[in-house]
């Protein structure tokens, strides 16, 4: 079997998942995802970040093809979530004497998932573990994105095993390293991963980036996505931009419509936004596009215009998740507009306004509510001007 080396004695033993439809059972994976794991074979053998449990046979085969009968001495757990730790029970059965390495917050949730762990090694901030010529050093990055999260730095090679930081969705299609692929293909899935997994703790992610900046980093090996060896400045720059929430000029128009009328309104709004000078206008039907894709563009662009028809005195049901996610993840420095439709009575715009008040959205124009279809010139003008006002706010901020 051909082995994938990061450097001498350090191997990639991760797996691709193209079977799972939704990450964490709610985020679509049209391009799959990788579960990355790394093996250091020295006087002592260390396995860093195991994989999801459903891939244990392939995973063990890859590990054993490198070890040739040797045992694993240390299992490094950077993060407890099951997509990383799920195969730990099988690994402990295979090598019962393995020492599981984590920090003071690692083992309570880990044992809650998998039962008692006998051979535990607790490491602290900056502590080292010698494998021979290779030395591992541990740094805590709490809330990136769980309280126990840490990264592992291998001193002689300058490799940071970065946990979820610098990761992304997308299975690795032959190329494992950043210089073996077209980065443009992976960028959108990286931002979607960031916006929906790490975005809520953007400040902690920025602190983690600043902490890693003190290290001599030659390679970044995350738990999902590409291994970074040639484009470190590019990926660190992207994560810094997303962590600082530096928005680009653009407007996202999202609508929920039962019979198509609110969709027509969205087109009028989008036209106003485009004619005001914004070239990046994204229009989404909330019933057709899964929320993680919309959140990714909300993270990217400055302007957000949301429209919902009325539904039993409230708003189009599918819109509820998006508005919840916006208020949960709290993207900063955005400008908003609201619109919607009604028939007998309202509810769509009124409900959106409640979410806006709760989330302290920066509404830069008066909300527009249309009765029935937008067939009156005054309705067209109001919707058009709503899109124009949001675009002008984007351009002038």
What mean pLDDT do residues 251-259 have? 97
- Asked if pLDDT for residue 9 goes beyond 90, the answer is yes
Q: How much is the pLDDT for 320?
A: 97
Pull the structure tokens for residue 248.
Answer: 């680009």
The strand pair at 4-7 and 10-12 is best described as antiparallel
Quote the CA–CA distance of 250 and 300 in Å, as a whole number. 8
Angle between the N-to-C axes of helices 261-275 and 377-396, in degrees from 0 to 180, rounded to the nearest 10 = 50
CA distance 252 to 297: 7
pLDDT of residue 207: 84
- Average pLDDT of span 61-85: 96
Number of alpha carbons in the 13 Å side-chain half-sphere of residue 278: 29
Q: Where are the alpha helices (DSSP H) in 41-165?
A: 56-67, 82-85, 88-94, 107-114
Q: According to the model, what pLDDT value does residue 201 have? A: 86
CATH T-level topology, domain 251-396: Rossmann fold (3.40.50)
pLDDT over 80 (residue 17): yes
SS3 content of the chain, % helix, strand, coil (to 5): 35, 25, 40
Q: Residue 206: what pLDDT?
A: 83
Q: pLDDT of 104-133, one tens digit each?
A: 999 999 999 999 999 999 999 999 999 999
What is the pLDDT confidence band of residue 1, given thresholds at 50, 70 and 90? low
Task: Catalogue the long-range contacts made by 148-154 (C-beta closer than 8 Å, 24 or more residues apart).
Answer: 148/79, 148/80, 148/102, 148/103, 148/105, 148/106, 148/109, 149/78, 149/79, 150/78, 150/79, 150/102, 150/103, 150/106, 151/78, 151/208, 151/212, 152/48, 152/76, 152/78, 153/215, 154/10, 154/40
Q: How much is the pLDDT for 212?
A: 84
Token pair in block for residue 128: 């080292």
Q: Say which residue, 201 or 360, is predicted with more confidence.
A: 360
Closest C-alpha among 158, 246, 251, 160 to residue 202: 246
- Sign of torsion over alpha carbons 52, 55, 57, 59: negative
Work out the average pLDDT over 206-217.
Answer: 86
For the chain, what is the total number of helices (H) and then of strands (E)? Answer: 12, 23
- Tokens in use for 14? 């991760």
Reported as a single tens digit per residue, the pLDDT across 32-52 is 999 999 999 999 999 999 999
CATH topology (fold) of 4-244: Metallo-beta-lactamase; Chain A (3.60.15)
Which two three-digit tokens encode residue 360?
């302290």
pTM: 0.93
Domain boundaries, the chain: 4-244, 251-396
Residue 199 pLDDT level (bands cut at 50, 70, 90): confident
Contact, 134 vs 157, CB < 8 A? yes
Token digits of residue 318: 């599918």
The whole-angstrom separation of Cα 247 and Cα 199 is 13
Across the range 325-332, mean pLDDT stands at: 95
């Amino acid at each position: 079997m051909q082995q994938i080396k990061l450097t001498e004695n350090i191997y990639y033993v991760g797996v691709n998942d193209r079977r799972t439809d939704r990450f964490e059972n709610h985020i679509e994976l049209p391009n799959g995802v990788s579960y990355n794991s790394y093996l250091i074979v020295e006087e002592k053998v260390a396995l860093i970040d195991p994989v999801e449990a459903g891939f244990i046979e392939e995973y063990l085969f890859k590990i054993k093809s490198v070890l040739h009968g040797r045992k694993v001495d240390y299992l490094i757990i950077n993060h407890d979530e099951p997509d990383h730790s799920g195969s730990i029970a099988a690994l402990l059965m295979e090598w019962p004497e393995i020492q599981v390495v984590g920090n003071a917050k690692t083992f309570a949730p880990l044992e809650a998932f998998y039962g008692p762990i006998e051979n535990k090694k607790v490491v602290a901030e900056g502590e080292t573990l010698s494998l021979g010529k290779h030395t591992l050093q541990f740094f805590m990055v709490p809330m990136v994105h769980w309280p126990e999260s840490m990264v592992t730095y291998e001193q002689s090679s300058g490799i940071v095993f970065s946990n979820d930081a610098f990761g992304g969705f997308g299975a690795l299609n032959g190329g494992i390293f950043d210089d073996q692929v077209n980065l443009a293909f992976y960028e959108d899935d990286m931002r979607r991963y960031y916006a929906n997994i790490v975005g809520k703790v953007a400040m902690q992610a920025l602190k983690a980036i600043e902490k890693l900046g003190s290290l001599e980093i030659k390679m970044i090996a995350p738990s999902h996505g590409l291994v970074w060896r040639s484009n470190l400045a590019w990926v660190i720059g992207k994560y810094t931009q997303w962590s600082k929430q530096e928005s680009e000029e653009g407007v996202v128009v999202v609508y929920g419509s039962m019979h198509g009328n609110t969709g027509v309104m969205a087109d009028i709004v989008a036209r106003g936004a485009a004619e005001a000078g914004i070239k990046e206008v994204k229009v989404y039907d909330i019933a057709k596009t899964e929320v993680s894709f919309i959140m990714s563009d909300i993270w990217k662009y400055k302007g957000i215009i949301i429209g919902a028809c009325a539904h039993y005195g409230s708003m189009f049901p599918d819109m509820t998740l998006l508005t919840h996610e916006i208020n949960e993840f709290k993207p900063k420095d955005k400008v908003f507009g609201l619109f919607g439709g009604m028939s007998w009575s309202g509810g769509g715009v009124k409900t959106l306004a409640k979410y806006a008040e709760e989330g302290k959205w920066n509404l830069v124009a008066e909300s527009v509510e249309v009765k029935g279809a937008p067939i009156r010139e005054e309705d067209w003008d109001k919707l058009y001007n709503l899109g124009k006002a949001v675009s002008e706010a984007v351009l002038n901020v």
